[in-house]
Amino acid sequence: MNTLAIPQLDTIPQRIASLRAAMEKAGVDACLVPSSDPHLSEYLPKRWQARRWLSGFTGSMGTLIVSADFAGVWADSRYWVQAEQELAGTGIALMKIDTAASSLHLQWLADTLQTGQTLAVDGDVLGLAAAKALQAALEPRGILLRTDIDLMDAVDPKRAPLPDAAVYQHDAAFAPQSRADKLSRVREAIRQAGAERHFISTLDDIAWLFNLRGADVNYNPVFISHALLEQDRATLFVAPGKVDAALAAALAADGVQLADYASAKSALHALPAGSSLLLDPRRVTLGLRQAVADGVKVIEAINPSTLMKSQKTAAEAAHVRQAMEQDGAALAEFFAWFEANINQSRITELTIDEQITAARARRPGFVSPSFATIAGFNANGALPHYHATPESHSEIKGDGLLLIDSGGQYLGGTTDITRVLAVGTPSAAQKRDFTLVLKGTMALSMAHFPRGTLSPMLDALARAPLWQHDIDFGHGTGHGVGYFLNVHEGPQSISRAMPEAHMAMQEGMITSIEPGVYRAGQWGVRIENLVLNVASDNNQFGDFLKFETLTLCPIDRRCIDLALLTRPEIDWLNGYHAEVRARLLPLLDGAARDWLLANTETL
């Protein structure tokens, strides 16, 4: 009996060869593989990790382009060292770009492909805004764009199915805004935008709006879905079997009906001519936009829910403060364990992840880590997105700096914190770098600014102390953080991004502050706290906001060069440590309590 031979796809070159064969069969000359899914998520379910599977590059951002005689991954400076290591020997080139927003891959395509040649990209995972930029680059050169095929179906015979974790209700004790109230607010925003309906694809928007959570995406408690809002009803498109009968009934009571996930495009195509639909062009894919029926007026604007969920209510902020206390207590237990065991037993970067997650898991309300822990010792700490693996990691011994970036998902909030610890005796150069980063963290933490300030405008405040010494870092200074949702959320971004109106800082937003210094092959320093926008003063000069620091964990004073700090900076640090001590002491005993007392003493 004849059997169909399945090609061996164990190596990256074999996978690229399989893709090229599929390209030839489909009659396309090049293929672009973005790091995205039908919801433009940051963390991708396994089914849509095509760029990672094809290239072996595991960074969260990057674009793969494959032609008949070339393959390359465009990655920004956060990933250069990592990408060079992971792409070595694959035949795939690293194409260095300065930032994730770079358009150099578009220029490469326009310069390399010939008139009449065809580029393929799966329109179902290509953002609408990205598609417009791609078309603008290719059309003047006469290069054709095909977005109607997903070559991965032909390339990967073992492609993962859709995730099937159950959807559940966010515990009412931690969800102070009802689903009905949120739906009413969003519907009012739809009307104000001049639309009758609104289609949403971003998973955190959907989870927030319906007070639902899931486990389809690593670290983010969201579920694969789309939603269509109308003035008198809402449809939630989700795979059958993910919502049980009791939850379906609760949704129905709020006017929410369920439909098959696969029917979302059909629903868009069935919208009546002459009706109006609100879409966020940065949060929907080309494939979904193309599914909208002809004759439907499309109004492009940011999802109203994106703005609403970024502004935490007073009740939500109170829950976040409690989650921060539990998280801080877990970290105190971890650091006490670390100090007691370093140089006494073998500790690796993998051990750090195991121990810190175990400490969090002992705390009430903990659900999961909020992202993969980064624990980098010395040179590994110089890789902003380093991830230790069983095959490649370092033992922590001798002198140096240990950078730990970790976080937790709690029912009452999401945490994200980076601390750097001295192991042995830090050098004068290490202490200088640490102190300059700390000065950047404090400078921004102490800022007051007018309500509505565009968040990118604050970025320089954290960089200025580093710039004074001709030092800079290649990532953003701060990202928004969700409420038991994505650890990275918009719309605000304290970064070098081009300021836009929707980035205005408003009361209730939670943002990270995380400047850094990275010396390749030596060490890295990053100090990260989460802060809450709170009211400052309303006077003749305007309505002002300031930051409340939410994160509760000591900053390692052994790494500080006191000569570089001003009196106001020392006062801020002493005040911060006094707050940490007061908030965490009631939650600790034994060695963790002793560690906290020792590490929050006044400078």
**Nearest residue to 447 (alpha-carbon basis) of 515, 526, 534:** 534
Enumerate residues 6+ apart whose C-beta is below 8 A from 248. 258
Least confident range of 80-89, 335-344, 498-507: 80-89
**Nearest residue to 213 (alpha-carbon basis) of 172, 249, 182, 184:** 172
- Residue corresponding to tokens 């010494």: 469
What's the pLDDT score for residue 114? 95
What is this structure's pTM? Answer: 0.93
Enumerate residues 6+ apart whose C-beta is below 8 A from 72. 64, 65, 92, 93, 94, 95, 108
Q: Is the pLDDT of residue 585 over 60?
A: yes
Distance CA 228, CA 256 (A): 10
- Structure tokens of 479? 């990202």
Structural domains in the chain plus CATH codes: 12-155 (3.40.350.10), 168-308 (3.40.350.10), 311-599 (3.90.230.10)
Q: Tens digit of pLDDT for each residue in 351-387?
A: 999 999 999 999 999 999 999 999 999 999 998 888 8
Distance CA 340, CA 336 (A): 6
What's the pLDDT score for residue 117? 96
Amino acid, res. 547: F
Distance CA 210, CA 123 (A): 27
Q: Is the pLDDT of residue 5 over 50?
A: no
What's the pLDDT score for residue 485? 98
Per-residue pLDDT band at 60 (split at 50, 70, 90) = confident
What's the pLDDT score for residue 9? 65
**CB 516 within 8 Å of CB 526:** yes
What's the pLDDT score for residue 1? 34
